[in-house]
């Protein structure tokens, strides 16, 4: 026990301090004039948690088919667990917010423990590895939003899928399948996990078995149409104010106000969209970019399936393929919420566990930029979000410029991940063919 304490003392203290800060930002209910109010610097982030609770209050009336239709049924069940727990304990509605916070913190802690347990090589010089350092700063960089949004759970499951992609591919496949069941975007990482032909069959069978079980559960509880409501919900949405393609319109609004011709409205999809002169063109551009990015991702998948061997460079290729694929979807989407940073941060943390030498340094620099983008996201929401909704001569120009910088960094992160993925895949010989001298030199040049 003494040896364990000395070895893991610093990372344990760092986790407690950083997560304590997040909890303080999140806040707790406090008595005020005979009622309860919510205190905490970022208490406004609990709006989604209140929405979950109110929706679950109506579950008996609306049924699974009509409750939280923007989420898959397994996500509904996961959000129902703390709701059922406080019901059994006969606690009030505010207790659900605390229960969700506790569930998020425990999930975060589990991921941290697994990062530590999967350390490779010698004990880190300063007691904290690069992967652990990234995750320690990632959650407070996003602030209370990290614990108040559902995306933490599928994001961490994707991170675990990356962590075990090569060493325990079936476990990785199960994590990816559960993540997809909770929120459909993680399906994008499954082809990367199945790229290694030595383990492909087991990955595909695991994903298929888990997927069929989750789909069957969804059919039994919600019916056929409930399987597709999350996709329909996203497809009908407009241009969200934080998305990459909304940046030009938001910049014009932020510097011109109502006279710019743009307006920001709260929509039926429980988000703020922008409307105005360029919005239709920007939506079209987002659609075209999505198609182009989708075609590029398919090319990567084909190359990976044809070329990725078992052994050297497999882990590095899978890490960058996952990051590039998810980043492509994120920057071309017409919707981008602050919690979407959790789509990348756990996977990057897991990647830093796997890589060594020059490869880890490259991912480390990429991850630092990702943290900077996360800090800017925190500045946007919730700190300065009011200036994104109601025009202010001072606040609105400032925060729309921050938005432009954040979205610019996200595009740069995608471009680098795309370049790195393409280079790694191009350096691999085709199946059944020996590597050429040029490919060997390129592989050696990029090796750790």
pLDDT of residue 235: 81
Judge whether residue 446 has pLDDT over 80: no
For strand 35-39 and strand 263-266, is the pairing parallel, antiparallel, or unpaired?
unpaired
Would you call 272 helix, strand, or coil by DSSP? strand
- Whole-number Å distance between alpha carbons of 280 and 186: 28
Interior angle at CA 420, CA 343 and CA 434, nearest 5: 125
User: CB-based burial of residue 328 (10 Å sphere; 0-12 exposed, 13-18 middle, 19+ buried)?
Assistant: buried
* pLDDT given at position 437: 40
244 vs 240: CA distance, rounded Å: 9
What confidence tier does 120 reach under pLDDT thresholds 50, 70, 90?
Answer: confident
Mean pLDDT lowest among 20-34, 234-248, 352-366, 389-403: 20-34
Task: Give 303's contacts (C-beta < 8 A, 6+ positions apart).
Answer: 425, 426, 428
408 has a pLDDT exceeding 60: yes
Mean pLDDT, residues 309-336 taken together: 91
The tens digit of pLDDT for each residue in 75-111 reads 999 999 999 999 999 887 689 999 999 999 999 999 9
Query: How would residue 18 be classed by pLDDT, with cut points 50, 70 and 90?
Result: very high
The pLDDT value given to residue 110? 97
- The DSSP call for residue 311 is S
Please state, in angstroms and rounded to a whole number, the distance separating the CA atoms of residues 353 and 363: 11
**Is the pLDDT reported for residue 440 higher than 60?**
no
pLDDT tens track for 413-423: 999 999 999 99
Q: Which of 25-34, 155-164, 273-282 has the lowest mean pLDDT?
A: 25-34
Total length of the chain: 448
Mean pLDDT of 61-74: 95
At 443 the pLDDT is 45
Task: Answer whether the bond into residue 267 is a cis peptide, omega within 30°.
Answer: no
pLDDT of residue 6: 64
At 264, phi and psi to the nearest 5?
-120, 125
Position 434 scores a pLDDT of: 45
For residue 183, which of 78, 263, 110 has the smallest C-alpha distance? 78
Q: Considering the chain, what percentage of its residues have pLDDT values greater than 70? A: 90
Q: Answer yes or no: are the C-beta atoms of 329 and 188 closer than 8 Å.
A: yes
Share of the chain above pLDDT 90, in %: 78
Which own/partner pairs from 118-122 qualify as long-range (CB within 8 Å, at least 24 positions apart)? 118/163, 118/353, 119/353, 120/353, 120/354, 120/356, 121/356
Give the model confidence (pLDDT) of 122-144 as tens digits. Answer: 678 778 999 999 999 999 999 99
């Amino acid at each position: 026990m003494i040896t364990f304490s000395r070895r893991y003392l610093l990372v344990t203290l760092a986790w407690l301090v950083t997560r304590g800060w997040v909890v303080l930002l999140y806040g707790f209910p406090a008595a005020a004039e005979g009622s309860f109010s919510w205190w905490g610097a970022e208490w406004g982030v609990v709006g989604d948690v209140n929405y979950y609770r109110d929706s679950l209050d109506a579950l008996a009336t609306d049924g699974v088919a009509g409750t939280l239709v923007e989420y898959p049924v397994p996500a509904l069940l996961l959000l129902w667990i703390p709701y059922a727990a406080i019901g059994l304990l006969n606690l009030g509605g505010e207790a659900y917010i605390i229960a969700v916070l506790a569930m998020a913190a425990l999930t975060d802690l589990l991921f941290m423990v697994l990062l530590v347990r999967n350390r490779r090589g010698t004990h880190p010089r300063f007691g904290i590895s690069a992967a652990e350092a990234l995750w320690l700063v990632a959650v407070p960089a996003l602030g209370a939003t990290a614990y108040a949004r559902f995306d933490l759970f599928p994001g961490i499951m994707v991170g675990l899928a990356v962590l075990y992609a090569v060493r325990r591919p079936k476990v990785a496949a199960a994590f990816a399948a559960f993540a997809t069941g909770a929120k459909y975007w993680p399906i994008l990482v499954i082809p990367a996990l199945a790229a290694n032909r030595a383990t492909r069959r087991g990955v595909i069978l695991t994903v298929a078995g888990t997927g069929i079980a989750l789909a069957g559960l969804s059919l039994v509880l919600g019916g056929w149409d409930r399987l597709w409501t999350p996709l329909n919900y996203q497809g009908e949405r407009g241009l969200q104010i934080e998305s990459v393609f909304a940046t030009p319109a938001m910049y014009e609004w932020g510097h011109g106000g109502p006279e710019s011709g743009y307006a920001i409205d709260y929509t039926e999809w429980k988000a703020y969209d922008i409307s105005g002169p360029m919005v239709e063109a920007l939506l079209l551009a987002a659609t075209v970019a999505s198609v182009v990015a989708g075609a590029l991702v398919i090319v990567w998948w084909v190359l990976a399936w044809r070329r990725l061997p078992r052994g050297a460079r497999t882990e590095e290729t899978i890490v960058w393929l996952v990051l590039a694929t998810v980043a492509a979807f994120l920057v071309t989407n017409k919707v981008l919420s602050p919690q979407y940073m959790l789509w990348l941060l756990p996977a990057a943390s897991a990647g830093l566990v796997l890589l060594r030498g020059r490869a880890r340094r490259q991912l480390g620099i990429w991850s630092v930029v990702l943290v900077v983008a996360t800090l800017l996201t925190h500045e946007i929401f919730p700190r300065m979000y009011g200036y994104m909704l109601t025009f202010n001569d001072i606040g609105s120009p400032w925060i729309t410029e921050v938005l432009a910088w954040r979205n610019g960094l996200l595009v740069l992160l995608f471009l680098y991940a795309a370049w790195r993925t393409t280079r790694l895949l191009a350096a691999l010989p085709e199946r059944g063919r020996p590597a050429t001298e040029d490919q060997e030199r390129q592989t050696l040049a990029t090796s750790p």
